[in-house]
Amino acid sequence: MQSTRKIRVLIAKPGLDSHDRGAKVVARALRDAGMEVIYTGLRQTPEQIVETALQEDVDVIGLSILSGAHKALFPRIMELIKEKGLTDVMVFAGGIIPEEDIPELKKIGIKEVFGPGTPTDKIIKFVLENLPKRT
């Protein structure tokens, strides 16, 4: 039988905020683009997010946050990703994140940050183009 790889994506919401409209719309758009999307619901700790990514062996993690706690939570998530050796996972983020914070987030390994109003097509395209190479 032919080998059939599917793109697996974890959409995760760290922090306490409950604005999941964007996360869900993105999850649905990625699913409709043929991906397998794991959504773990609101208020996930960095530990839970990274542990889920590991067990589900996802290719991509999308983090959504609107509470402003990204500066406290994203570095912790990226640290855990390194710690667990998830070198073949691409991470992107979305939500309300001030422009001036973005360079710092990219420095710690977040590939892209999408603000409000990003078309879902753009996110799908981004995921497809930046899929980590896996052997």
Partner 1 sequence: MFDKERIKEIEKQRERWENTTLPKWISHHPERRKEFRNHSGMQIKRVYTPEDIQEMDYMRDLGFPGEYPFTRGLHATMYRGRIWTMRMFAGYGTAEDTNKRFKYLLSEGETGLSTAFDYPTIMGYDSDHPMARGEVGVCGVAVSSLKDMEILFDGIPLDKVTTSMTINGPASTLLAMYVAVGDKQGVPREKLGGTTQNDNLKEFFAQKLCIFPPKPSLKLSTDVIEYCARHLPKWNPISISGYHIREAGATALQELAFTLYDGIAYVESTLERGLKVDDFAPRLSFFFASHNDFFEEIAKFRAARRLWAKIMKERFHAKNPRSMWMRMHVQTSGCTLTAQQPLNNIVRTTIQALAAVLGGTQSLHTNSFDEALCLPTEEAVRVALRTQQIIAYESGVADTVDPLAGSYYIEALTNEMEEKAMEYIQKIDDMGGAIAAIEKGFFQKEIANSAYRYQREIDEKKRIIVGVNEYTIKGEEEYPLKILRVDPKVEEEQIARLQKVKRERDNRKVKEVLEKLHYAAEKDENLMPTIIEAVKAYATLGEITEVLRKVYGEYKELIVI
Partner 2 sequence: MSKTEEIVKGVLAGNKRSIAKAITLIENNDPEAKKLLAHVYSHTGKAHIIGITGPGGSGKSTLIEKIVREYRRNGKKVGVIAVDPTSPFTGGAFLGDRIRMQELSTDEDVFIRSMATRNYLGGIARATKDAVKVLDASGKDVIIVETVGAGQSEVEIIKIADSVVVIHAPGLGDEIQAIKAGLMEIADIFVVNKADRENADKAVIDIQSMLQLNNKEKAWKPPIIKTVALTGEGVTELIEKLEEHRKFLEKEKARKKSLSKAEAELVEAIKEQTANSIIEKLRKEGTLEEVLQKIVKKEIDPVSAAEKLLKEKFKKE
Q: Give me the DSSP letters along 47-103.
A: HHHHHHHHHHT-SEEEEEE-SSTHHHHHHHHHHHHHHTT-TT-EEEEEES--GGGHH
Residue 28 interacts with partner 1 (CB under 8 A): yes or no: yes
Number of other CB atoms surrounding residue 107 within 10 Å: 10
Q: Please answer whether residues 27 and 124 qualify as being in contact, where contact means their C-beta atoms are separated by less than 8 angstroms.
A: no
Residue 85 interacts with partner 1 (CB under 8 A): yes or no: no
Least distance (Å) from partner 1 to the CB of residue 14? 9
Residue 121 interacts with partner 1 (CB under 8 A): yes or no: yes
Chosen residue from 9, 10, 12, 39 binding partner 1 by CB under 8 A: 39
Residue 120 interacts with partner 1 (CB under 8 A): yes or no: yes
Applying CB under 8 A, the residues found at the interface with partner 2 are 1-6, 8, 27-28, 30-41, 44-45, 47-48, 51-52, 54-57, 84-86, 135
Half-sphere exposure of 61 (CA within 13 A, CB side): 29
Residues at the interface with partner 1 (CB under 8 A)? 15-21, 24-25, 27-29, 31, 39, 41-43, 45, 67-69, 71-73, 96, 98-100, 115-117, 119-121
